[in-house]
Amino acid sequence: MTAGPDRAARHAPPVARERLPALLAVMPKAELHVHIEGTLEPEMIFMLAERNGVALPYANLDGLRGAYAFTSLQSFLDLYYQGAGVLRTEQDFHDLAWAYLQRAAADHVVRAEIFFDPQTHTARGISMATVINGLKRACTEARTRLGISAALILSFLRHLSEREAFETLEQALPFRDDFIGVGLDSSEVGNPPEKFARVFARCGKLGLHRVAHAGEEGPAAYIRDALDLLHAERIDHGVQAATDPQLMARLAAERIPLTVCPLSNVKLCVFPDLSRHSLPRLLAAGLCATINSDDPAYFGGYLNDNFQATFDALALTAQDAWQLAANSFEASFASAAEKQSWTDRLSACFEAARTS
Ligand code: ADE
Ligand code: ZN
C-alpha cells in the first residue's frame, strides 16, 4: 500500500499475500521501544506480591485485568506505577526481564533496547544496584541462551523535576557501562523537552545515546524540541508528526527514526482505532518508522501481535514488512556489523518465503 524508499524496493523480494502473516511472525526484527515495567504480566504481579509480602488492591487476576481500561496516558501510568510496586529484589528485576526476553525470542526479536524507569524504584527505597544488576544479568543471559542482543536505556520520568533527573543520573554513573543511553517518558503534556535540556546535555557529554518520548499525546512541536533541545537521536512514538508536513520532511531527510507503538496508541486513545493510525502516512513519507510494543502486558500484545494487528487493519504489504524490519535494524544502537548480519538474515528470510 505504501511506497517505501528505493533502497527497500531493491531489497525486498515479492512475497505472495497469503504468506504475509507467517512471514511477519518469523522475520528477524528489533524491538526498540519497550518499558520493562510494562512487561509485568498480571500473573507475575500476583506471584511477586506473594513472594515479597506486598498487599494488592485486587482480589484476583480478573479484578486486576478489569482495571486495564484506559482513557488516556495518565490513566494508564497510574496503574503502571502501582503494578511496579511488587518489584523489590535483584532477582525480581532479573525474572521480569528474563520473561520478556523469552517472549521476545519467540517473536524472532534479535535485538531489544529496553527502557527501565529507575525513579519508580529508587523512590521506594530500592537501590540503583538492585535494579540494574538484575536487569543486566538477564540481558547477558539472553545473548548466550536466546541469541538476542539486549541493551538497557535509562529513562527519566518527565513529571519529576530536573534536579531529580540529575540525582538519578549521578546514582547510575557507577553502572555507566551497563546501559547504552537515556530516554524520557511518563506524562508528556505539560512536561516539555526543554525541562530536561541540561540533563540531556550532560548525558551527551558522557557519551550516552539520547532518545525521548515525544508527539504521543503531546504536539508535534515537542518532537521538534526533542531534536533541537535534547539532541534526541530517535523519537519514541512521534505519531503526531503526521500533523506537520514540514516536520515529516525533516524527519525523513535526517533519517530520524520513530519507534511507533500501534496497540499502545489505540489503548491510550491516541487514535480511535488501528485503521486510523498515522503509520501508513509516515511510511509513505519515507520516514524510518518502526513497530514496537511499548507496554505489552497492559496493551494486549507483544511485538508480533502489534505487527499482525497493524498489517490487518491497514492492509500493509510485504514491502512494508521488509521496510519496517530493516528500519528497526537501522534505528538500533547496535554495531554496524550486527546490523548488517540481521539485515542479511532478513533478506534470506524473504527469499525463502518467496521460493517456498
Ligand atoms: N511509560 C511507560 N509507557 C509509556 C508511554 N506509552 N508513554 C509515556 N511514558 C510511558
Ligand atoms: Zn513508551
Tell the residue nearest (CA) to atom 10 of ligand 1. Answer: 186
pLDDT greater than 70 at residue 108: yes
Cell of 112: 531489544
* Predicted local distance difference test score (pLDDT) of residue 355: 84
pLDDT greater than 50 at residue 113: yes
For residue 80, which atom of ligand 1 is closest to its CA? 2
For residue 92 and ligand 1, the question of a CB distance below 6 A is answered with no
pLDDT greater than 90 at residue 354: no
98 vs 353, more confident: 98
For residues 136-145, average pLDDT: 98
Q: Which ligand is located closest to the Cα atom of residue 270?
A: 1
Evaluate whether residue 6 is within a structural domain: no
For residues 7-36, average pLDDT: 86
For residue 295, which atom of ligand 1 is closest to its CA? 3
| Average pLDDT value for the chain | 96
**Residue appearing with cell numbers 534479535:** 110
Evaluate whether residue 324 is within a structural domain: yes
Q: Which domain holds residue 65?
A: 15-355
Q: Which tens digits make up the pLDDT trace of 287-328?
A: 999 999 999 999 999 999 999 999 999 999 999 999 999 999
For residue 264 and ligand 1, the question of a CB distance below 6 A is answered with yes
Evaluate whether residue 5 is within a structural domain: no
pLDDT greater than 60 at residue 1: no
223 vs 13, more confident: 223
Q: Which ligand is located closest to the Cα atom of residue 264?
A: 1
Tell me the whole-structure pTM to 2 decimals: 0.96
**Rounded distance between C-alpha atoms, residue 180 and residue 114, angstroms:** 10
Tell the residue nearest (CA) to atom 8 of ligand 1. Answer: 186
Evaluate whether residue 8 is within a structural domain: no
Task: Give catalytic status of residue 162 as yes or no.
Answer: no
Evaluate whether residue 329 is within a structural domain: yes
* Predicted local distance difference test score (pLDDT) of residue 16: 85
Q: Which tens digits make up the pLDDT trace of 149-171?
A: 999 999 999 999 999 999 999 99
* Predicted local distance difference test score (pLDDT) of residue 321: 97
* Predicted local distance difference test score (pLDDT) of residue 212: 99
For residue 295 and ligand 1, the question of a CB distance below 6 A is answered with yes
Q: What angle (nearest 5°) sits at the alpha carbon of residue 185, between those of residues 181 and 190?
A: 135
pLDDT greater than 50 at residue 22: yes
Binned at pLDDT 50, 70 and 90, residue 11 comes out as low
Tell the residue nearest (CA) to atom 9 of ligand 1. Answer: 186
Binned at pLDDT 50, 70 and 90, residue 31 comes out as very high
- For the four alpha carbons of 251, 195, 204 and 121, in that order, the dihedral sign comes to negative
- Output the CA–CA distances (angstroms, integers) from residue 210 to 59, 226, 241, in the order listed: 41, 10, 19
For residue 236 and ligand 1, the question of a CB distance below 6 A is answered with no
Strand order in the sheet with 29-35: 29-35, 109-116, 149-157, 181-185, 209-214, 234-237, 258-260, 289-291
* Predicted local distance difference test score (pLDDT) of residue 79: 97
For residue 268, which atom of ligand 1 is closest to its CA? 6
pLDDT greater than 70 at residue 4: no
CATH number at residue 161: 3.20.20.140
| Strand bridging mode 109-116 / 149-157 | parallel
Total structural domains within the chain: 1
Evaluate whether residue 114 is within a structural domain: yes
The number of helices, as runs of H, and strands, as runs of E, in the chain is: 18, 8
Cα–ligand 2 centroid distance for 353 (angstroms): 32
2 vs 39, more confident: 39
Q: Which one is catalytic: 141, 216, 330, 351?
A: 216
Tell the residue nearest (CA) to atom 6 of ligand 1. Answer: 294
Evaluate whether residue 58 is within a structural domain: yes
Q: Which tens digits make up the pLDDT trace of 256-277?
A: 999 999 999 999 999 999 999 9
For residue 216 and ligand 1, the question of a CB distance below 6 A is answered with yes
| Strand bridging mode 29-35 / 109-116 | parallel
Report whether 116 contacts 40 (CB < 8 A). no
Cα–ligand 2 centroid distance for 46 (angstroms): 23
For residue 217 and ligand 1, the question of a CB distance below 6 A is answered with no
Q: Which tens digits make up the pLDDT trace of 160-214?
A: 999 999 999 999 999 999 999 999 999 999 999 999 999 999 999 999 999 999 9
Binned at pLDDT 50, 70 and 90, residue 8 comes out as very low
pLDDT greater than 60 at residue 6: no
Evaluate whether residue 320 is within a structural domain: yes
For residue 73 and ligand 1, the question of a CB distance below 6 A is answered with yes
